[in-house]
C-alpha cells in the first residue's frame, strides 16, 4: 500500500470520526428530549442549571467539553460526562462501520443500526424509556432499507421482526412483566435488519451480559435486588455484536443446532 493510499484511508476514517462526533451530539439531544415530549429543534441547547444558552463554540462536540473543562461557562456546574462519552462512542462506531463495511450498500444499513442503538442507550439510561416515536421512525427506515437490500432469504427479516415480538411477548406474559414493552418492540425492529437467527443471538447476548452486570452490581451493593436495570444498553451491545460479527456467529449457531 502506497503512502498516498494510506493518507486517503486516514482521511476517510477521520472524516467518519468527525461525522460520528456530530451525530453523537445530536443523538444525545434526541435521546434526552424525545422521551419527555420535548422538541429536538426548539428551544436550543442550554445549561440545565442556570438556563445559559450555549453558543456555537459551546456546541462543538468534544472540543467544547474539553475547552470548558467539563463545566458550564456561566454557573460552573459540572457537565455530565455522558455527552462526551456518547459523542466519542458514536465517532468510534462510525469509524468501525466504514472499516468493517466499506463503501457499499451495507454502509447505510450499518450507520442506521448504530444510530438507533446509540439513541436507545441515551434514552433508556436516563429515563428507562424506549420511545415509540423513535422505534416507529426506525421501523420505517429499516423496512425501506430491507426492501432495497433484502436479506437472503428475504423472509428472514419478516420472521425476525414478527418472531421476536411474539416470543418476547410470551416471555413477558409468563414472567409477569420480566421484560419491558419497549425492549420487546426494540428487538422486533432490530429483527428486520438482523433476521431471525441473529435476533435470537442478540437476545441471548443481551440477557447474558445483563445478567452478569446485575449480579456484579448486586454483590457490590450498588443496587438492590428488586431495583430495575435499563436493558437497552445490553440490547445495543448484543445487537451490534450480532450485526458486525454475523458470519462468525451464524457459523457457531449452525454448529450448535445442526451439527
pTM of the model: 0.92
Report d(CA 67, CA 48) in Å as an integer: 19
**How confident is the model at residue 223, as a pLDDT?**
66
Q: What is the dihedral of CA 199, 205, 208, 210, to 10 degrees?
A: -90
**How confident is the model at residue 212, as a pLDDT?**
92
**How confident is the model at residue 254, as a pLDDT?**
67
Rounded to the nearest 10 degrees, the angle between the axes of helix 3-33 and helix 81-101 is: 130
**How confident is the model at residue 105, as a pLDDT?**
85
Domain segments of the chain: what residues?
Answer: 1-103, 129-259
* Residues with Cβ within 8 Å of residue 207, at least 6 apart in sequence: 234
CA angle, residues 220, 223, 225, in degrees to nearest 5: 105
**How confident is the model at residue 188, as a pLDDT?**
96
pLDDT along the chain (259 residues), means of 10: 86 96 96 93 79 81 87 83 95 96 91 98 96 96 95 92 93 81 95 93 93 84 72 95 85 67
Record the cell numbers describing residue 140, joined without a space.
Answer: 420505517
**How confident is the model at residue 34, as a pLDDT?**
96
Record the cell numbers describing residue 151, joined without a space.
Answer: 436479506
* Residues with Cβ within 8 Å of residue 162, at least 6 apart in sequence: 188, 191
Record the cell numbers describing residue 42, joined without a space.
Answer: 426548539
Residues 237/209, Cβ–Cβ less than 8 Å: yes
Q: Up-side HSE of residue 35: CA atoms within 13 Å toward CB?
A: 19
Amino acid at each position: 500500500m502506497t503512502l498516498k493510499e494510506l493518507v486517503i484511508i486516514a482521511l476517510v476514517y477521520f472524516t467518519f470520526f468527525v461525522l460520528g462526533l456530530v451525530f453523537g451530539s445530536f443523538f444525545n439531544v434526541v435521546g434526552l428530549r424525545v422521551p419527555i415530549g420535548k422538541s429536538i429543534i426548539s428551544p436550543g441547547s442550554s445549561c440545565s442549571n442556570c438556563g445559559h444558552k450555549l453558543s456555537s463554540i459551546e456546541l462543538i462536540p468534544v472540543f467544547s467539553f474539553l475547552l470548558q473543562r467539563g463545566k458550564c461557562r456561566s454557573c460552573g456546574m459540572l457537565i455530565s460526562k455522558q455527552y462526551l462519552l456518547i459523542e466519542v462512542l458514536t465517532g468510534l462506531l462510525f469509524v468501525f462501520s466504514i472499516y468493517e463495511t466499506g463503501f457499499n450498500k451495507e454502509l447505510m444499513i450499518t450507520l442506521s443500526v448504530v444510530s438507533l442503538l446509540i439513541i436507545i442507550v441515551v434514552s433508556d439510561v436516563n429515563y428507562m424509556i424506549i420511545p415509540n416515536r423513535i422505534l416507529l421512525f426506525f421501523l420505517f427506515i429499516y423496512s425501506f432499507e430491507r426492501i432495497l437490500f433484502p436479506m437472503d432469504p428475504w423472509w428472514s427479516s419478516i420472521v425476525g421482526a414478527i418472531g421476536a415480538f411474539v416470543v418476547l411477548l410470551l416471555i413477558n406474559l409468563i414472567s409477569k412483566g420480566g421484560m419491558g414493552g419497549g425492549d420487546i418492540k426494540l428487538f422486533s425492529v432490530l429483527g428486520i435488519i438482523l433476521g431471525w437467527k441473529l435476533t435470537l443471538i442478540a437476545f441471548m447476548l443481551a440477557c447474558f451480559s445483563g445478567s452478569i452486570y446485575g449480579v456484579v452490581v448486586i454483590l457490590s451493593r450498588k443496587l438492590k435486588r428488586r431495583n430495575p436495570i435499563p436493558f437497552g444498553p445490553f440490547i445495543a451491545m448484543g445487537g451490534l455484536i450480532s450485526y458486525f460479527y454475523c458470519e462468525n456467529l451464524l457459523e457457531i449457531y449452525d454448529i450448535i443446532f445442526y451439527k
